[in-house]
């Protein structure tokens, strides 16, 4: 494992693939690998790309890769849950849409689909992203469909999150889950070549300006004025980040440089403001809590497997209630022994 880690740090492409598999399968030793690599991470910029199925996330990611590559940056892409029924086997689609970059030794594209069991999707995505950082990626793009709780959690692990919306699906804004809207640092209204763009942009801007209920608790804080589209106009050092709404046509690479400029402005804001510092801390804490939760639940379900089965049956039979059952299980886990019922 230590040898593998050293190879990853040397930039060995195949070692990176092996390391990702190790972490994905949680093969023994994977934690040592992550521990080895951790000191070599922390400098990369993690950009989450989320939004409804088919909004054009992969097409946009492909464009962003090209732009980062022209800046000589090494790029990593973590495509999360491409097997989701919502995106319908998008792993193939993703590969096709990012195809030209598969030949590039400075671009590493990795899919993550592990869910359930120990630690969810976001844990796998974070671990894989760390390996890719250690490999030398300057930017890690994390693509995930914004449909489930897990996917939202993934979006939240990024430093900057781009939410991709496409018009023409009735009320696109209403159709988005509130949670997706809340995690937006930048909105890209993609497929601007289609009708309904103006309405979608207006709806989003209005929602941001009003600080609608769904945005009020936003980690990006409430915006008080209409968003400015040009990053120059936004006050990057202020405590409030005003979420910009940018139109683009990913298939034509139009508006994509504005998308990137706004994302970069967000990164500068993160790095320079107190609010950004607090957010970084909050995210780190959230991640740590997530790890603890995974470990504790894992340990508990291993140790009390039979007792949990028995408790589930008892609750199903209604011979006890779930609250009491939970209390008893916790009591046993803490070493109090199983109370007689
Ligand atoms: N007209 C138009 N079509 C687009 C645009 N961007 C993407 N598309 C098309 O929309 C479809 C979906 O694009 P993807 O990039 O795969 O979308 P996605 O959000 O990654 O999709 P999933 O990962 O399956 O959720 C493809 O057929 C694209 O060619 C655009 O700006 N205009
Ligand atoms: Mg996709």
What per-residue confidence (pLDDT) applies to 224? 38
* Cα 70 from Cα 159, distance rounded (Å): 22
Angle between helix 121-135 and helix 2-10 axes, rounded to 10 deg? 60
* Cα 320 from Cα 341, distance rounded (Å): 9
What per-residue confidence (pLDDT) applies to 287? 82
Q: Ligand 1 centroid to 190 CA: how many Å?
A: 9
What per-residue confidence (pLDDT) applies to 7? 96
Identify the residue whose tokens are 């804490």: 285
What are the strands, taking DSSP E only, across 103-244? 107-112, 139-145, 160-165, 186-189
Q: Which ligand places an atom closest to the C-alpha of 190?
A: 1
Choose the residue to mutate in 63, 251, 254 for probing ligand 1, maximizing ligand atoms within 8 Å of C-beta: 251
Asked whether the beta carbons of 315 and 325 are under 8 A apart, the reply is yes
Residue 256 Cβ contacting ligand 1 at under 6 Å: no
What per-residue confidence (pLDDT) applies to 341? 47
Identify the residue whose tokens are 């990024």: 158
* Cα 212 from Cα 217, distance rounded (Å): 9
Asked whether the beta carbons of 207 and 241 are under 8 A apart, the reply is no
Residue 329 Cβ contacting ligand 1 at under 6 Å: no
Identify the residue whose tokens are 């007792």: 307
Residue 197 Cβ contacting ligand 1 at under 6 Å: no
Whether the predicted model's global pTM rises above the 0.95 cut: no
Residue 63 Cβ contacting ligand 1 at under 6 Å: no
* Cα 73 from Cα 23, distance rounded (Å): 24
| Alpha-carbon distance values, 2 to 35, 39, 265 (Å) | 10, 14, 38
Q: Ligand 2 centroid to 169 CA: how many Å?
A: 18
Rg, the chain, Cα only: 22
Asked whether the beta carbons of 65 and 47 are under 8 A apart, the reply is no
Atom 32, ligand 1: residue with shortest CA distance: 191
The DSSP H or E segment spanning 299 is helix 274-303
Low-confidence ranges of the chain (pLDDT < 50): 84-90, 92-93, 116-117, 212-236, 341
What per-residue confidence (pLDDT) applies to 15? 94
What per-residue confidence (pLDDT) applies to 214? 40
Asked whether the beta carbons of 67 and 139 are under 8 A apart, the reply is no
Displacement of CA 188 from its chain's centroid (Å): 16
Q: Which atom of ligand 1 is nearest to the CA of 59?
A: 15
Q: Which atom of ligand 1 is nearest to the CA of 90?
A: 24
Choose the residue to mutate in 54, 80, 113, 172 for probing ligand 1, maximizing ligand atoms within 8 Å of C-beta: 54
Residue 77 Cβ contacting ligand 1 at under 6 Å: no
Residue 55 Cβ contacting ligand 1 at under 6 Å: yes
Retrieve residue 272's tokens: 């320079």
What are the strands, taking DSSP E only, across 30-170? 45-51, 75-80, 107-112, 139-145, 160-165
Residue 6: phi and psi, rounded to 5, are: -65, -40
Residue 190 Cβ contacting ligand 1 at under 6 Å: yes
Residue 53 Cβ contacting ligand 1 at under 6 Å: yes
Residue 247: phi and psi, rounded to 5, are: -85, 145
Choose the residue to mutate in 81, 172, 190, 250 for probing ligand 1, maximizing ligand atoms within 8 Å of C-beta: 250
* Cα 20 from Cα 8, distance rounded (Å): 10
């Amino acid at each position: 494992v230590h040898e593998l880690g050293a190879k990853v740090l040397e930039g060995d492409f195949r070692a990176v693939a092996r390391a990702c598999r190790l972490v994905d399968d949680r093969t023994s030793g994977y934690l040592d690998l992550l521990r080895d690599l951790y000191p070599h991470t922390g400098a990369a910029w993690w950009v989450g790309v989320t939004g409804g199925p088919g909004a054009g996330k992969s097409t946009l990611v492909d464009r962003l890769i090209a732009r980062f590559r022209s800046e000589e940056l090494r790029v990593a892409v973590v495509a999360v849950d491409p097997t989701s029924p919502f995106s319908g086997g998008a792993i193939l689609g993703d590969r096709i849409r990012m195809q030209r970059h598969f030949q590039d030794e400075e671009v590493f594209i990795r899919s993550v689909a592990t869910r359930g069991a120990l630690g969810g999707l976001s844990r796998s995505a974070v671990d894989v992203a760390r390996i890719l950082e250690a490999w030398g990626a300057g930017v890690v793009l994390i693509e995930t469909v914004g449909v489930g709780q897990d996917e939202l959690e993934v979006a939240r692990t990024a430093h900057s999150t781009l939410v991709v919306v496409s018009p023409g699906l009735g009320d696109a804004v209403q159709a988005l889950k509130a949670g997706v809207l809340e995690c937006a640092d930048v909105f890209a209204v993609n497929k601007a070549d289609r009708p309904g763009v103006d309405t979608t942009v207006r709806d989003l801007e209005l929602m941001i300006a009003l600080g609608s209920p769904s945005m009020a608790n936003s980690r990006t804080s409430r915006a008080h004025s209409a968003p400015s589209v040009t990053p120059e106009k936004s006050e990057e050092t202020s405590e409030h980040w005003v979420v910009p709404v940018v139109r683009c046509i990913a298939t034509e690479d139009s508006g994509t440089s504005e998308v990137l400029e706004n994302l970069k402005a967000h990164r500068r804001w993160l790095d320079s403001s107190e609010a950004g510092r607090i957010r970084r801390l909050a995210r780190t804490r959230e991640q740590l809590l997530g790890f603890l939760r995974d470990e504790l639940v894992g340990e508990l379900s291993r140790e009390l497997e039979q007792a949990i089965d028995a408790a589930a049956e008892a609750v199903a039979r209604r011979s006890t209630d779930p609250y009491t059952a939970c209390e008893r299980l916790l009591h046993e886990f803490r070493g109090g022994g199983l109370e007689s019922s």
